[in-house]
Chain A
């Protein structure tokens, strides 16, 4: 990027978005260098923060004319380096597009700008007794635009679905300036389901400028049943038995020994630290239904040899029991200088085998691993503990992570359940997809962004690299 071009663009962007909303100096750009995966860092040419959708469109228009790469950024909490800048491009921040435009109480929807924080939607809908169901653990910070881009989930997605199940309509702008509406006011729209295609497309196809989400009525009652096990297989089987009994819990989470003890030290939720596995099962619905199902779940835990069972007796107790799980990441962060969060999915029946294999890998790589698991839907988050200040440790953690992803695919799962491919897992794409499938992904991208200006180099690997990766694995 020539200095002149940067200066010209900087001036032009300032004219569009206002003096204070273009960041060009290194120091102020610092927070934009990475997302939640801070090991992946890059400096961008400029950071631009439009205050209106019209300004955003103007910014995109200039980028198209000058062929400047665009990396859209929500809150930067992503965990796959999806929002990591392109060195010769701009970071297009949606931080100022943070208005809740309208809440339609009757249709139970909320129309919001992309920079609105996930939790703000439920806060605003609360006055109508409604809420937005998908609740990533990062919900106090992450943006709904980022959620759409990653198809984010949360602890409640077994029952209430992922982002894709809870978005009704979105406005999208393509790099060539085309504006399209995806979805509609009704439930189904004739034609290809472009809304589904955009959700989870990691900012590679267009910029989402407005989103209409569905809201749900708050359940009358919510309770959580916690159970400890001294055997992981028993815990996994207990999960299967709840589902086989026809109960779909609102949330169903598992933690392994490391995660339990880290979480307990962090927030004293009352977790039994000697347990091999801990299950948290949340039931919601009407008063009587919750009562009935909690009793049933506790019974099933007992038959699967739970060593202790606790049913929340109050809202405070429920919050406390969840607190440990919700703060598992920072808790693990306390027992290790750094950690690397993976995101594979597996069929639940393979859990015990996967955990055993993982502990062997842990010995092999000489790094500890703690596991939290969305047990209901088979989404595993191994947290690899390492020390970035020790030369070579991050590389070892990455290699360990790659092996975990390969393991997930080999048992019938996939390389990412909710964090996305981004920059981080791009090398592992060829384990899950054939060359023809990857070629089709490139063609799909080409339909939306022929110049390849959006999030260049992310999400889908070049075919050349796939072949190299496969060859390297053969000889590994």
Chain B
């Protein structure tokens, strides 16, 4: 697979010279995420390939256009994986886009986000500089953590052209139990109870009146957890095809995501309760909730303000509407200042994250 870093640098320098904006595109799988941007496209899907993979160091370095599916398949050969289990969206999702959106799967509260596994990056800034931060070792505290700063930054500071990640062994065993729980309030109570246990949980989600819990880890520990669970909740039973269920939640194939309504995602305190915002899907043991409905951002902010948390509009954004929760003035000022250092001419993804960024 080719290394096209030099072409990317050229494109950035050219765009800068012409004062032309660039929309950074990986696999194009996350067009639903964020606001519409403007400018010509800079395509990263051609910048693919594994640069190095050392299974017994648990370290992988890849080019940003490499697809998650490809990476997971390669790691699986050595019984390893990207623990954050980023969504694959029909195979289109790339590692660069997943880093830029800090996109994680249902195991997020236990196995961490992609941000947690990033060790280092190569970054192409808006000045056309190619910089290196972090490294290919587990620990590195020299300089500021510019690598993790790019996670979730949606390309607003630059193009993450290469990334080094910590990988993890695949669990030896996985088992999903399901249990009927009608109300979301009871489901939250149930999740909170489970969260306090020391069982090897790696998924805890509620949808369509059913509670799903996934146990993963050493064989004996998983079996014991499932047995204890079945004893405590005699109505629970094992879900045969657990991996396709969790895949459908992760990749938004589940019928829940097919509705044509607007869809909000809340990131909140796992036990928080909001009477006016009824979730259709609760994931991450309560810390992530999906709310279908026609609310606007002002309403969401007002609803969340007494208890905290933040809202993102994932589907159904109209025109110029802001889709991410507003931030305090100080943070906003820092965002603008940081953007101006990494991308002084504001060529990368203008407006993709916030209208003012």
Contacts and interface: CB of A to CB of B under 8 A. Distances in A.
B63 interface: no
Contact of A345 (B116, B140, B148, B354): B140
Contacts of B198: 129, 217-220, 286
Interface stretch (B2-10, B128-136, B232-240): B128-136
Interface residues of B, number: 88
Nearest to A248: B169
A186 B268 CA distance: 4
A209 B168 CA distance: 34
Contacts of A436: 129, 131
B265 to A, nearest CB: 10
A32 B207 CA distance: 56
A418 B353 contact: no
Contact of A184 (B141, B288, B309, B335): B309
B112 A165 contact: yes
Contacts of A286: 198, 200, 218, 220-221, 224-225
Contact of A347 (B54, B55, B151): B54
Contact of B144 (A150, A200, A418, A419): A200
B266 interface: yes
A38 interface: no
Contact of A164 (B142, B145, B225, B327): B145
A57 interface: no
Contacts of A181: 328, 331
Interface residues of A, number: 92
Given A191-B353, A193-B149, A420 B341 contact: no
A68 B284 CA distance: 46
A65 interface: no
Interface stretch (B20-28, B64-72, B178-186, B189-197): B189-197
A220 B138 CA distance: 27
A429 B152 contact: no
Interface string B211-228: 000000111110011000
Interface in A198-227: 199-201, 205, 217-220
B59 interface: yes
Given A187-B288, A415-B142, A447-B337, A346 B137 contact: yes
B139 A433 contact: no
B328 A180 contact: yes
A352 interface: no
Could you say which of B79, B153, B288, B331 has the most chain A C-beta atoms within 10 Å of its C-beta?
B331
Interface in A376-431: 376-379, 412-421, 425, 429
A129 B307 CA distance: 26
A205 B200 CA distance: 38
Interface stretch (B42-50, B89-97, B243-251, B269-277): B269-277
Nearest to A202: B141
A107 interface: yes
A2 interface: no
Contacts of B113: 187-188
Contacts of A441: 143-144
A186 B269 contact: yes
A19 interface: no
B133 A437 contact: yes
Nearest to B268: A186
B196 A186 contact: no
Contacts of A274: none
Interface in A209-266: 217-220, 240-241, 243-244, 246-248
A432 interface: yes
Nearest to A460: B143
Contact of A178 (B142, B195, B330, B341): B330
A192 interface: yes
Contacts of A161: 112, 116
A189 interface: yes
Contacts of B133: 437
Contacts of B152: 188, 190-193
Could you say which of A194, A205, A374, A440 has the most chain B C-beta atoms within 10 Å of its C-beta?
A440
Given A106-B271, A193-B149, A441-B144, A187 B333 contact: no
Could you say which of B115, B198, B354 has the most chain A C-beta atoms within 10 Å of its C-beta?
B198
30 contacts: A157-B138, A161-B112, A186-B269, A190-B152, A190-B353, A196-B115, A199-B145, A201-B145, A219-B198, A220-B198, A240-B56, A244-B78, A286-B220, A288-B218, A289-B220, A292-B219, A345-B137, A347-B54, A347-B136, A348-B56, A377-B138, A378-B137, A379-B138, A412-B136, A413-B137, A417-B138, A418-B139, A419-B141, A437-B143, A447-B338
